[in-house]
Structure 1
């Protein structure tokens, strides 16, 4: 059993990160202490999953009203409908993958891609290969440029401020490194108090950011990265009931801020990493606010 120092631990000491971690912890604790959670926690979880899925799909260009997502049953026709359907499948199944995540993160990522892309996709469940390119992370912005008469070059360009995705070989190697790091954290969790030093928010932000930068699949990378973040928050005990939809906060903060924060992560600088973790913290707190509003509505008998 590994008891080596957590390599993510130094990130928890970056300027502003301890404050972000503490603010998230306080917000999550307040939500878990809401009186509605004593009786209707399963309903809050279900509603958080729906709202998180809607927001994640919106970040991938399918910005549907919540009631449309709630009402629809057919998600097989059209690119936007498939994106929403993928986000809903991820939200429904993410919590069922915890035991596998702790021992085989790569297997879970393959499953997440299958859920995001649908089992009829030709490259489903496997990382991209040499010669294959990763789709644009923010397709809505590509669509907007095309509407204005600006032809989008092929393959899709990297979002402004982000480097192009690494080669398939480099992406695979870095995925392996990420899996080793996560497995070591799982081992360290059983080594006694104080063995794990990096907070859940930091780990979730790193997993999310790394997947967004690597773009290991030919499609669905944003959906997969946000679902993986959700799994980390559940697995590491910050949000065990999955009632804090960070995706809602990311959508509320906007794609421009999302891109800028991701560029900070991709830079690898202390300032950029701290800014990305703080951004993930703000998004999570906004997700807490969303679920708190749901709890308040339930308490008043409105839901």
Structure 2
């Protein structure tokens, strides 16, 4: 059996139980009745809410209903919407060519935000991006949630792309969950969970950047909490869809 390169992180205090708890909440949410016949509506709403939350975490927050109505022209919001609409077409490529996918995510996110020459081009952190893409490519041993958490935090720490690099980080983490089958339909709105605990999100990502065991633990605990909150958001959306069906 291949060795899990992130296995030591499971030894950090409370991390393994937190992963298990978040998994249980996701499993329960995936049994929602709305997904049987209204799965498309649920997925579309989750995608919208996740994109709006991700743009908000970049400092471009808008009311969800205004975005839904099409009245928000902010290019960062429009980029986030493009990213989340385009994730399905990148799922198969992600585990084979993660660097190419990251470039594509940046093109979608940063169009009309950064100069065209900068689109899809990492400007910093080459060594860490090399290490990250090597970790992702073909990795079938690491827990999907743990892998997604590290993808997310590394991209937040390095911020290799100009403009809305955080949108890229959050989308890449979502792809990690989708591609490994943890959330194959992209229904867990972890971005909403991050946004609902934004001070903790910022603090935990800064703690991760220190590279200390406590910093890593802080981030992983936050990430699992956000995934659990994303599962709760799925339940809320499903309830709403059933109420209007």
Q: TM-score, normalised by structure 2?
A: 0.95
Shift of 1:121: 3.0
Structure 1 counterpart of 2:212, from 247, 269, 278: 269
Q: Is residue 126 from structure 1 mapped to residue 126 from structure 2 by the alignment? A: no
Q: TM-score, normalised by structure 1?
A: 0.77
- Rounded to whole Å, the distance in 2 between the matches of 1:296 and 1:174 is 42
- Rounded to whole Å, the distance in 2 between the matches of 1:113 and 1:300 is 37
Equivalent residue, structure 2, for 1:92: 85
**Do 2:152 and 2:170's aligned partners in 1 also have CA atoms closer than 8 Å?**
yes
Equivalent residue, structure 2, for 1:217: 161
User: 3-12 or 200-209, which moves further after superposition?
Assistant: 3-12
* Structure ranking higher in helix proportion: 2
Shift of 1:300: 2.1
Equivalent residue, structure 1, for 2:106: 113
Q: Is residue 297 from structure 1 mapped to residue 231 from structure 2 by the alignment? A: no
User: 10-19 or 101-110, which moves further after superposition?
Assistant: 10-19
**Do 1:249 and 1:287's aligned partners in 2 also have CA atoms closer than 8 Å?**
yes
Q: What is the aligned residue count? A: 243
Query: Which ranges in structure 1 are unaligned for 5 or more consecutive residues?
Result: 76-80, 129-167, 190-195
Secondary structure of 1:218 counterpart:
coil
Q: Is residue 104 from structure 1 mapped to residue 97 from structure 2 by the alignment? A: yes
Structure 1 counterpart of 2:188, from 240, 244, 249: 244
Q: Is residue 41 from structure 1 mapped to residue 39 from structure 2 by the alignment? A: yes
Secondary structure of 2:173 counterpart:
helix
Structure 2 counterpart of 1:231, from 155, 160, 175: 175
Alpha-carbon RMSD: 1.5
Shift of 1:53: 0.4
Which ranges of 4 or more aligned residues in structure 1 deviate by more than 2 Å? 119-122
Deviations 1:228-287 (A, max 9, x none): 011001111111111111110111002x21121012211112221111011011111111
Deviations 1:103-152 (A, max 9, x none): 11000000000000116633111111xxxxxxxxxxxxxxxxxxxxxxxx
**Do 1:234 and 1:241's aligned partners in 2 also have CA atoms closer than 8 Å?**
yes
- Rounded to whole Å, the distance in 1 between the matches of 2:2 and 2:231 is 33
- Rounded to whole Å, the distance in 1 between the matches of 2:11 and 2:182 is 19
Equivalent residue, structure 2, for 1:134: none
Map 1:1-303; keep pairs closer than 5 Å.
Answer: 3-72=1-70, 75=73, 81-118=74-111, 121-128=116-123, 168=124, 171-185=125-139, 189=140, 196=141, 198-254=142-198, 256-301=199-244
